[in-house]
Each structure stands twice: as structure tokens, then as C-alpha cells.
Structure 1
């Protein structure tokens, strides 16, 4: 952790691959951690708010240990909203004092649960003026995850039909709004508590996956399916909803789990082989394209997300905020499912 005259402290994840529960041996608030010098393309951001993503909880429990295990302790966090405190020598689009928001790539080593975070210039853009820092911090990682699937992979366009499996989560909710903004006809599955919110966001149909038979409730074929859940049974069902030439995209790819299990040297080739096998199978059996999808920092996407936020077409609701010093309590609440919606950590 570091103090740069702000008086605020930030947490780092320590021994986060040792156990799955949140305790003070796994997640700690620490002070006086050095802030590295900026590279030419980097920006130092004074953090005002960061959101908790499922990736943070999973990393704390061991996910990604093949990459991060030797680098402990880690600073968790991917989303951020704050002000530019300093810029590297080659930074041109951002200036000191400017309010910004953005998100780090999933493999970034130094995260955003810190009073001063470092991000590449292309991972940031001006914060939407219509959003507070708390509201803005909830958007980038989830929205960029959905953006990569829908815009970079499936290349959705006006008039197409999109199915979002698990629309109640942050990525699913962002995908619905991105699909609606692109002029798509959007159908989603969700829990009963989310139906009204997803219909209000523009989904034409919201199916309760617990109370309804999804295969009977959903009619017609789709150009793209984004599966945020990744349950094998739902994957088999969702594949059958696609038109020939359609795109099935799941957030539950096996690359990280296989590399964690077998190490990078064996796990990464095994993951590639597994994906290729599935792609070939579905291409010949169903005539569709199959993808594992992940968040990727994308300046073009972030700029469009910023514009959609500004125009009121994209927003991720925040259910609860915690002070950054309460990060352990916040993670405990998410682990125990005491809070189902988005949680944000605020900095004083």
C-alpha cells in the first residue's frame, strides 16, 4: 500500500492462493507499498472508487495461480474511476486533474484496489459526466467483457437477434444494453428478481430459468448467444438456439483452469487443443462458431461505452458501497451471497 499525501490506504491480496475464505491472512489492508515509476505510456490515477468483480474473488481463491503465484502479494482490482495524478512522457490524450474511468486487462499484475493506480493510457478515457465515481467504477470491466463478445467476436448489427444467458449479472446486463443500443432484438434468461429490471433495460423477453422451461419458453433462432453462466446443460441448450453461421460465446472458458491445473507449459496447449476441438465439433455439427470470451482492454470500446453512459443507454446499478478499509467485509458479503448486485469500494 502507499500513502502519497492522501492519507488513504489501499489493500493488497496476500497469500490469496492459499485458501478460499476471506480472512486477514488472505486479504489485507497494507500501507507504505511503493508506487513504481511510470512508463512513458502510463497514467497515475488517484482512485475514487473501484468495483468488485467476480474475477477478484476468484483470484483471491487461487484462480490464475499459474500466472500470478510467483508474484504474491498482489493488488486486486480491475475497474477504476478517479483523477489523473501524473502522466508518462508519451501520454497525449489525458492530462493531470482530468476525471477518468477504465479497466485493466485481466492479466495485469498491479490492480486498482489502491489509492494510486497505474494504467496504460489506452485503458482509460474521460469519465462520463453524468455518472458519479461510484457509478462509473461499476461499468468498464463488465461492459468491456460484453463488448468484446458482441462487437469484436460476433459483430452484432441492427436487426439481429441476441440471446444473453444470465442477464442478471453485470456482464449480462451490460450485454443487454449494448445489444439494444445496437438495434438488436434481445432475449435473456435470469432469476425472477431480475425480470423487471432487464425488461426495463430493453430486453424483449426475460425468461425465469428456474420457474420456466427455457427450451419451450424461448422461440426462434438467434444470431448470437452470450453465455455468462457456462453450465454444461445450458451450453447444450443454447447451442441449439443459434442459426447456422451464428456465434456462441461463453465466459467460462477453460484456459485459466487448465493452466492452473497443469502449469503454463502443458495447460496452455491443452486449453488451445480443447477449444479447437469444440470449435471443430460445433462447426460441423451445428454450423456455428464457438468461442471462449474474456475481457480485453479496448480503447474504441471504452470510448463507445463512455458515450452510451453519457446518453443514459448504459448503466450498471450499484447495490452497496464499502469504504476501501472494509474490503475484507465486502468480499465476505459477496462470497456469502449476502449482496447479489454490484459492490463498489470508495476511497476518501
Structure 2
């Protein structure tokens, strides 16, 4: 790692960020990391394209940014899809880039306007889906509103699995559908990280929840407090009872969309993670694909509003300090957790991606830093 020494950089630094240069700290000089190890994606492809480089530049902090010493980062489906070329129209001109959205670690430095976080503090959080410099690095940069204090009751590994999935679910259920106590929520694909987070958020809000999932997730879903429907052995349309105020569809194929729409009460919200914006821009380019995706979304919204009296949305994760704070509090209380199935050292990132591609790890995989 390279370090920059300066008496005045417009940032506040922890001792940890310059302890490797012990005698400099003794004479009152401040040191901040200017390069570190990072997993770089130089081109799209399989796991073999990932490169762990020893000296990748760490940009200077903006006033609202935080430098985080990573301890654990989780692998999200978005990471493997981006590696394979999803979002090519957006990301290809920006290669090489660093993958990774979730992180848990310690604050190494903060920008001049950061007020809610302090150097040395343990934090967790997640970057926006379109971020170019991700979290697969010894030091990651996030904005203040993308981070919160790490729940003390969970480890860095456990904390790193939570934010991106939980914020995705939070935006759908709390920000878009505005679920409230006593409402009925259907989660299609409750065994995945986003679906399982959605179940727990809805239960915590006082809703009754039904979730579809595979046989391997039945016990987990039931333990979270939801009614479970095993789509591998049951006819979902016959097994699901009643109508719902909100449907979160994490699968997003035409069949699950049809089922979800038909199970909604009038005035309810259908939300899918599988919006077509990225796929259409990849196919037609930004100039045509983005307006086309907007047109398709508006057409569906109008169609379902008039035919079923419901609201239709494509939903994506976004930074939300209010949502992350609620997620932190629920995690601290043991009411929201995302199980981690396997961990890998960051040096085995290719092996981890290979295992995810081959579906050898159906649950969450986490990369750990020494």
C-alpha cells in the first residue's frame, strides 16, 4: 500500500490508517492510503477475468465521503451479472471497474462535511448499483448516507450480507408500497436474500406475510414468521390464499408477474426487481434503450391501473439513510438477518464467483479481508 503524508488534507483520520508508518505519527504527520489491493474487472467474462491487483489508486475523499477499511464484503447477484456483461452499455466505457456493493468495516477517514460517523467506528452499508468503484478492495469509499454504525450484535461477515438486499426490499415495501400494520404482503421468491429481507421487514412492520420459495428455504421462511408456499411441489395459484396489499416479485418472469398482479387488492402495489432498463439499454444503447424502457414501464403502469386498479413498479436499491438506520436497528434486535452460507478470503474471489455461477452456494457468500 502507498500512503500520502500531509498535515492538512481536509479529512479526519484514524490511527489505524497510518499506524503502518509508526514513526511518522510520532512526529505529528497524517497519513492516508492512496493505493490498496482491489479486485479489478478489466473486461467482461467468467470468473477468470477478475484480477486482484496490489496497487489500485484510492481517490481523494469528497467532503461527504467516508474511507472504509473493509473487513468483509458480500457477493450479490448483481456482481456476477455485471462481471458477465449486464449493464454493458453503461459500464463498458468505464472499464476497468471494481465490483462489490455491500461492505462492513471500520472508518479510516472522513470528509470535511461528514458529521454522523467518526474515525475508528465500525460501520456497514452499500453502494448504489451504478457505482464504478465498488467494495472489493481493502479500502472502499462510500458517501455518508450509504453507511451506518454496524450492529454490535453481529460480526463483520454477518453485517456485510445485509445492506444491499435489505435496502432493495426496504425501498419496495416501505418507500414505494408504504406497507402498514395489518396489511397482507406476498413475497415471490422468499428464499433469496432480497426476498428473505422483505419477509422480515414486513413482519417487523406488523404485516401478515406469505412467501413462495423452494423446499430448502421452507424452514427459514416459516421461522421468520411467514406462511410458506413451496413452488416446487405445490400449485402456487391454488396454495396461496386471499388477496394482498403489496406483492414483491424477486423472480420477475411473465408467469410470476401474472400471478402477483392477480393476487393484489385494488389499490395495491406490484413491485418487481426485474425491470428492463439495463437489458434494453444493453440491446439498443443508451439513446434508444433508456427511453424505450421508460415507455414500457409507463405503458404497464397505465395498463394495470385501468385493468386491475393497482400500481406497477420496477424497483431498485438506492441509498437511504432512514432505511439503513431502520435496518441497523432491526438487525441489532435480531429481527433482520441474512444467513451467510460460505466465506472466502479476498484472494479466492475467482473461486467464490465460480461457485456462485455453478450454483454450488445457493445462499450468501462473503469475501473476507485480513
TM-score w.r.t. length of structure 1: 0.96
Report how far residue 8 of structure 1 moved: 7.1
Q: Counterpart of 2:40?
A: 12
Aligned position for 1:198: 221
Match of 1:149 in 2: 172
Aligned to 1:290: 312
Structure-2 residue corresponding to 1:273: 295
**How big is the alpha-carbon RMSD for the aligned residues of Structure 1 and Structure 2?**
1.2
CA contact (8 A) 1:8 1:347 kept: no
Equivalents in 2 of 1:129, 1:139: separation in Å?
14
Q: Deviations over 1:162-215 (max 9, x none)?
A: 000000000000000000000000000000110011000110x10011210011
Q: 1:185 aligns with which of 193, 203, 208?
A: 208
Aligned residue number for residue 6 of structure 2 = none
Q: Report runs of 4+ in structure 1 exceeding 2 Å deviation.
A: 2-10
Structure 2 residue 70 is matched with structure 1 residue 47: yes
Larger radius of gyration: 2
Q: CA deviation at 1:9?
A: 2.8
Structure 2 unaligned spans of 5+: 4-19, 21-32
2:17 match: none
Deviation of the 1:292 alpha carbon: 0.3
4-13 vs 68-77, greater mean Cα deviation: 4-13
Structure 2 residue 151 is matched with structure 1 residue 128: yes
**Structure-1 residue corresponding to 2:359:** 337
What does residue 181 of structure 2 align with? 158
Give yes or no for the alignment of 1:236 onto 2:264: no
- C-alpha separation between the residues in 1 aligned to 2:288 and 2:274? 20
- Please name the residue that 2:239 is paired with: 217
* Range 255-264 or range 185-194, more displaced: 255-264
Partner Cα distance (2:251, 2:198) in 1: 13
**TM superposition score normalised by structure 2:** 0.91
Question: Any stretches of 5+ residues in structure 1 without a counterpart?
Answer: none
CA contact 2:237–2:259 (8 Å) conserved in 1? yes
Higher relative CO (Cα under 8 Å, sequence separation at least 6) belongs to: 1
CA positional deviation for 1:148: 0.1
Distance across 1 between alignment mates of 2:36 and 2:54: 9
2:247–2:269 CA contact under 8 A, matched in 1: yes
Task: Provide the secondary structure at the position in 2 that maps to 1:329.
Answer: helix
Q: What is the CA–CA distance in structure 2 between the aligned matches of 1:29 and 1:160, rounded to whole Å?
A: 47
Of residues 18, 42, 47 in structure 2, which corresponds to 1:22? 47
State the Cα distance separating 1:66 from its structure 2 match: 1.4
Shift of 1:238: 1.2
- Summarize deviations over 1:50-75 as a string: whole Å, max 9, x none: 00000000000111111111111110
Query: How far off is 1:10 after superposition?
Result: 2.4
1:86 matched to 2:109? yes
